[in-house]
Amino acid sequence: MNHRVMNNFQMIAGLLRLHGKDADPAVRAELLKAESRVQVLARFHAMLAATGSDGDVDMVCYITALCEQTQGLIDRPGEVALRLDLQPLSLPSDKAVPLVFILNELVTNALKYAFPPPTGGSVAVDLHPSPNGWVLAVADDGVGLDKAFTNARTPRAGLGTRLVAAFVQQLDATLVTDASHGLRHEITFRP
């Protein structure tokens, strides 16, 4: 079963890549983003299959792997540092999946947009308990962001911003964004 699911993910990713091959550059970019999102789900499924369990997901292990893979996709070695400070947490897959998608969107955006070449900096990912549950924070010390883009309800919000808002809602979590120095997103949720 796991093998068939992984084949389906690869087939979907391949179709997106093929459709983008001869497409207009703007369409190609959007199809590559969609392919990247499918790959995140495929990696998450592979991790679940590797654990041999339908139970809880070790978030430290997965967040570390996801961040390392995402950083490897951004071809700026030595320019952008990725720092992780993660407290142990296991989540059921119905909580882990939306959190993984949120994390992927926020880390990818930070690595891609916070530091226009030749500038560099750092992206920090923190996962820790709080009085209201748990906090997942993604922060960078980059150029910041136009505040209009931080609100998922604005017409200018991209698909990634809208996906983050939808997954935050699915988790019954809260999202606080601070653009006063670089950009920091904090998601507070209950396991």
Whether residues 13 and 76 share a domain: the answer is no
Tokens of 5: 């699911």
Both 50 and 65 in one domain: the answer is no
Encode pLDDT of 104-153 as tens digits: 889 988 888 888 888 889 999 999 999 999 999 999 999 887 543 444 44
**Cβ neighbours of 106 (radius 10 Å):** 26
93 shares its domain with 106:
yes
Q: Are residues 103 and 50 both part of a single domain?
A: no
Q: State the pLDDT at residue 112.
A: 82
- Give me the domain span that covers residue 37: 1-54
- Determine which helix (DSSP H) or strand (DSSP E) holds 126, and give its type and residue range: strand 121-130
pLDDT in tens, 61-72: 889 988 887 777
Q: Say if CB 86 and CB 63 are below 8 A apart.
A: yes
Residue 36 has pLDDT above 50, yes or no: yes
Lowest mean pLDDT among 42-51, 103-112, 162-171, 173-182: 42-51
Residue 133: HSE in the Cβ half-sphere, 13 Å Cα cutoff: 14
Same domain, 74 and 26: no
Round the average pLDDT of the chain to a whole number and report it.
81
